[in-house]
Amino acid sequence: MAFSTSHALSISLLAFFVCAVVSSDPDPLQDFCIGDLNIVPGINGFPCTNSSTVTVDDFIYSGIVNSSNTTNINRSGAIFGTVLRFPGLNTLGLSIARLDFLPEGIIPPHTHPRASEMVYVEEGTVYAAIVTADNRLFARVMNRGEVMVIPRGLIHWQMNVGRTNAKIIATLNSQLPGIQFIARSMFGSRPEVPDEVLEKTFFLDERSIDQVRSNFV
Protein backbone atom coordinates (compact mmCIF):
# COMPACT_ATOMS: atom_id res chain seq x y z
CA MET A 1 0.00 0.00 0.00
CA ALA A 2 1.51 3.35 -1.07
CA PHE A 3 1.34 6.38 1.19
CA SER A 4 1.14 9.92 -0.14
CA THR A 5 3.50 12.59 1.13
CA SER A 6 0.63 14.36 2.87
CA HIS A 7 -0.43 11.10 4.57
CA ALA A 8 3.09 10.48 5.84
CA LEU A 9 3.30 14.05 7.08
CA SER A 10 0.00 13.65 8.95
CA ILE A 11 1.30 10.52 10.68
CA SER A 12 4.52 12.29 11.66
CA LEU A 13 2.61 15.24 13.12
CA LEU A 14 0.29 12.91 15.02
CA ALA A 15 3.27 11.06 16.49
CA PHE A 16 4.83 14.37 17.49
CA PHE A 17 1.72 15.59 19.30
CA VAL A 18 1.19 12.24 21.03
CA CYS A 19 4.78 12.33 22.32
CA ALA A 20 4.32 15.94 23.43
CA VAL A 21 1.18 15.05 25.37
CA VAL A 22 2.78 12.01 27.01
CA SER A 23 5.90 13.95 28.04
CA SER A 24 4.06 16.71 29.91
CA ASP A 25 2.44 16.64 33.34
CA PRO A 26 -1.27 15.88 33.19
CA ASP A 27 -3.82 18.41 34.38
CA PRO A 28 -5.03 17.63 37.92
CA LEU A 29 -8.50 16.15 38.26
CA GLN A 30 -9.04 17.37 41.82
CA ASP A 31 -8.27 20.43 43.93
CA PHE A 32 -5.43 18.65 45.70
CA CYS A 33 -3.90 15.22 46.15
CA ILE A 34 -1.87 14.93 49.34
CA GLY A 35 0.48 12.03 48.65
CA ASP A 36 0.25 8.80 50.60
CA LEU A 37 3.95 8.00 50.99
CA ASN A 38 3.17 4.54 52.36
CA ILE A 39 2.16 3.35 48.89
CA VAL A 40 4.51 2.85 45.95
CA PRO A 41 4.14 5.82 43.56
CA GLY A 42 2.89 5.46 40.00
CA ILE A 43 3.93 7.36 36.89
CA ASN A 44 2.29 10.62 37.98
CA GLY A 45 3.02 10.51 41.69
CA PHE A 46 1.70 8.96 44.86
CA PRO A 47 -1.92 7.93 45.43
CA CYS A 48 -4.00 10.53 47.26
CA THR A 49 -4.74 10.26 50.94
CA ASN A 50 -8.36 10.43 52.05
CA SER A 51 -9.35 14.08 51.50
CA SER A 52 -11.51 14.05 54.63
CA THR A 53 -8.36 13.70 56.78
CA VAL A 54 -6.49 16.61 55.17
CA THR A 55 -5.68 19.65 57.34
CA VAL A 56 -4.01 23.00 56.69
CA ASP A 57 -0.72 21.50 57.88
CA ASP A 58 -0.64 19.34 54.75
CA PHE A 59 -0.18 22.53 52.69
CA ILE A 60 2.67 23.95 54.81
CA TYR A 61 6.33 22.88 54.87
CA SER A 62 8.69 24.02 57.64
CA GLY A 63 11.71 22.03 56.51
CA ILE A 64 13.66 25.02 55.18
CA VAL A 65 13.20 27.29 58.21
CA ASN A 66 16.59 26.36 59.66
CA SER A 67 19.88 26.45 57.77
CA SER A 68 21.38 23.30 56.28
CA ASN A 69 24.58 21.61 57.44
CA THR A 70 27.62 23.38 55.95
CA THR A 71 30.34 21.49 57.86
CA ASN A 72 31.69 19.59 54.87
CA ILE A 73 34.40 19.84 52.23
CA ASN A 74 32.21 22.07 50.03
CA ARG A 75 31.36 24.49 52.88
CA SER A 76 27.74 24.41 51.73
CA GLY A 77 24.53 22.53 52.32
CA ALA A 78 21.09 22.00 50.82
CA ILE A 79 17.68 21.06 52.17
CA PHE A 80 15.18 19.86 49.56
CA GLY A 81 11.43 20.02 49.89
CA THR A 82 10.34 17.38 47.40
CA VAL A 83 7.20 15.26 47.55
CA LEU A 84 9.14 12.76 49.69
CA ARG A 85 9.32 15.36 52.49
CA PHE A 86 6.34 17.52 51.58
CA PRO A 87 3.47 15.27 50.43
CA GLY A 88 1.33 18.32 49.66
CA LEU A 89 3.40 18.75 46.47
CA ASN A 90 2.03 15.52 45.04
CA THR A 91 0.81 15.99 41.41
CA LEU A 92 1.61 19.73 41.47
CA GLY A 93 4.93 19.58 39.59
CA LEU A 94 6.74 21.72 42.16
CA SER A 95 9.50 21.46 44.75
CA ILE A 96 11.68 23.84 46.75
CA ALA A 97 15.19 23.90 48.19
CA ARG A 98 17.26 26.00 50.55
CA LEU A 99 21.00 26.36 49.82
CA ASP A 100 23.38 27.69 52.47
CA PHE A 101 27.00 28.72 51.92
CA LEU A 102 29.88 29.64 54.17
CA PRO A 103 32.40 32.05 52.61
CA GLU A 104 34.03 30.26 49.64
CA GLY A 105 31.37 27.56 49.81
CA ILE A 106 30.15 25.92 46.62
CA ILE A 107 27.30 23.74 45.42
CA PRO A 108 29.41 21.73 42.92
CA PRO A 109 28.45 21.28 39.24
CA HIS A 110 25.31 19.18 38.95
CA THR A 111 22.13 18.67 36.96
CA HIS A 112 18.44 18.09 37.67
CA PRO A 113 17.35 15.53 35.07
CA ARG A 114 13.63 16.09 35.58
CA ALA A 115 13.25 19.83 36.23
CA SER A 116 14.08 23.38 35.32
CA GLU A 117 15.06 25.57 38.26
CA MET A 118 14.78 29.15 39.46
CA VAL A 119 17.22 30.39 42.11
CA TYR A 120 16.67 33.50 44.24
CA VAL A 121 19.59 35.01 46.17
CA GLU A 122 18.16 35.85 49.58
CA GLU A 123 21.45 36.68 51.29
CA GLY A 124 25.03 37.30 50.20
CA THR A 125 26.83 37.35 46.86
CA VAL A 126 27.17 34.26 44.69
CA TYR A 127 28.80 33.35 41.40
CA ALA A 128 26.17 31.37 39.49
CA ALA A 129 26.80 29.55 36.24
CA ILE A 130 25.16 27.39 33.56
CA VAL A 131 26.91 25.32 30.88
CA THR A 132 24.82 24.48 27.80
CA ALA A 133 24.91 21.36 25.64
CA ASP A 134 27.17 23.17 23.15
CA ASN A 135 29.61 24.03 25.97
CA ARG A 136 28.73 27.72 26.31
CA LEU A 137 29.23 29.17 29.78
CA PHE A 138 26.69 31.67 31.09
CA ALA A 139 27.92 33.00 34.41
CA ARG A 140 27.68 36.07 36.59
CA VAL A 141 28.01 37.28 40.15
CA MET A 142 24.52 37.62 41.61
CA ASN A 143 23.50 39.81 44.53
CA ARG A 144 20.65 39.78 47.02
CA GLY A 145 17.24 39.90 45.34
CA GLU A 146 18.39 38.63 41.93
CA VAL A 147 16.97 35.54 40.21
CA MET A 148 18.45 33.11 37.70
CA VAL A 149 16.60 30.47 35.65
CA ILE A 150 18.33 27.17 34.87
CA PRO A 151 16.91 25.09 32.00
CA ARG A 152 16.19 21.44 32.66
CA GLY A 153 19.13 19.06 32.59
CA LEU A 154 21.90 21.64 32.14
CA ILE A 155 25.05 21.57 34.28
CA HIS A 156 25.11 24.44 36.77
CA TRP A 157 26.60 25.55 40.09
CA GLN A 158 26.63 28.35 42.65
CA MET A 159 29.60 29.60 44.70
CA ASN A 160 29.76 32.12 47.52
CA VAL A 161 32.20 34.87 46.52
CA GLY A 162 31.34 37.24 49.36
CA ARG A 163 32.87 37.65 52.80
CA THR A 164 29.69 36.65 54.64
CA ASN A 165 27.41 33.62 54.52
CA ALA A 166 25.06 33.32 51.55
CA LYS A 167 21.61 31.82 51.15
CA ILE A 168 19.62 30.81 48.06
CA ILE A 169 16.01 29.69 47.75
CA ALA A 170 15.40 27.50 44.71
CA THR A 171 12.16 26.32 43.14
CA LEU A 172 11.92 23.50 40.59
CA ASN A 173 9.10 22.43 38.30
CA SER A 174 8.97 18.82 39.40
CA GLN A 175 7.79 17.22 42.62
CA LEU A 176 10.82 14.92 42.38
CA PRO A 177 13.45 16.69 40.23
CA GLY A 178 16.42 14.45 41.00
CA ILE A 179 19.99 15.68 41.35
CA GLN A 180 23.22 14.33 39.89
CA PHE A 181 26.60 15.76 40.91
CA ILE A 182 29.13 15.41 38.11
CA ALA A 183 32.20 14.63 40.21
CA ARG A 184 30.38 12.34 42.63
CA SER A 185 28.78 10.39 39.79
CA MET A 186 32.13 9.74 38.12
CA PHE A 187 34.39 9.27 41.15
CA GLY A 188 31.97 8.10 43.84
CA SER A 189 29.72 5.61 42.04
CA ARG A 190 29.35 2.01 43.22
CA PRO A 191 30.63 -0.15 41.64
CA GLU A 192 33.45 2.17 40.64
CA VAL A 193 33.87 3.63 37.18
CA PRO A 194 36.97 1.88 35.72
CA ASP A 195 40.22 3.78 36.12
CA GLU A 196 40.86 3.63 32.39
CA VAL A 197 37.66 5.53 31.69
CA LEU A 198 38.54 8.23 34.21
CA GLU A 199 42.12 8.48 32.91
CA LYS A 200 40.96 9.02 29.34
CA THR A 201 38.10 11.33 30.28
CA PHE A 202 39.84 13.65 32.75
CA PHE A 203 43.49 13.11 31.74
CA LEU A 204 44.42 11.97 35.26
CA ASP A 205 46.90 9.34 36.39
CA GLU A 206 46.02 6.49 38.76
CA ARG A 207 47.35 8.29 41.84
CA SER A 208 45.27 11.41 41.12
CA ILE A 209 42.15 9.28 40.58
CA ASP A 210 42.61 7.58 43.95
CA GLN A 211 43.08 10.97 45.60
CA VAL A 212 39.86 12.35 44.10
CA ARG A 213 37.93 9.17 44.94
CA SER A 214 38.95 9.47 48.58
CA ASN A 215 36.74 12.55 48.89
CA PHE A 216 33.64 10.49 48.12
CA VAL A 217 34.14 7.53 50.45
Q: Give the separation between CA 74 and CA 104, rounded to whole angstroms.
A: 8
| Average pLDDT over every residue of 41-45 | 78
pLDDT tens, residue by residue, 167-188: 999 999 999 999 999 999 999 9
The answer to whether 117 is annotated as binding is yes
pLDDT tens, residue by residue, 133-174: 999 999 999 999 999 999 999 999 999 999 999 999 999 999
What's the whole-model pTM score? 0.83
For the chain, domain boundaries: 24-178, 181-216
Closest CA to 182 of 133, 109, 90: 109
What is the CATH number that goes with domain 24-178?
A: 2.60.120.10
In one-letter notation, the amino acid at residue 107 is I
On average, the pLDDT of the chain sits at 90
Q: Give the separation between CA 7 and CA 129, rounded to whole angstroms.
A: 46
Q: Give the separation between CA 79 and CA 69, rounded to whole angstroms.
A: 9
Query: Residue 10 — pLDDT band, cuts 50, 70, 90?
Result: low
76-81 β-sheet, strand order = 76-81, 95-101, 166-172, 117-123, 147-150
Closest CA to 30 of 13, 14, 47: 47
The answer to whether 110 is annotated as binding is yes
pLDDT tens, residue by residue, 97-128: 999 999 999 999 999 999 999 999 999 999 99
**pLDDT (0 to 100) of residue 25:** 58
Determine whether 41 is exposed, middle or buried from the number of CB atoms within 10 Å of its CB (0-12, 13-18, 19+): middle
| Average pLDDT over every residue of 72-96 | 96
The answer to whether 7 is annotated as binding is no
pLDDT tens, residue by residue, 12-24: 544 444 444 444 5
**pLDDT (0 to 100) of residue 16:** 44
Neighbours of 174 (CB within 10 A): 21
SS3 145: coil
Pairwise pLDDT comparison (186 vs 217), residue with the higher score? 186
Neighbours of 30 (CB within 10 A): 8
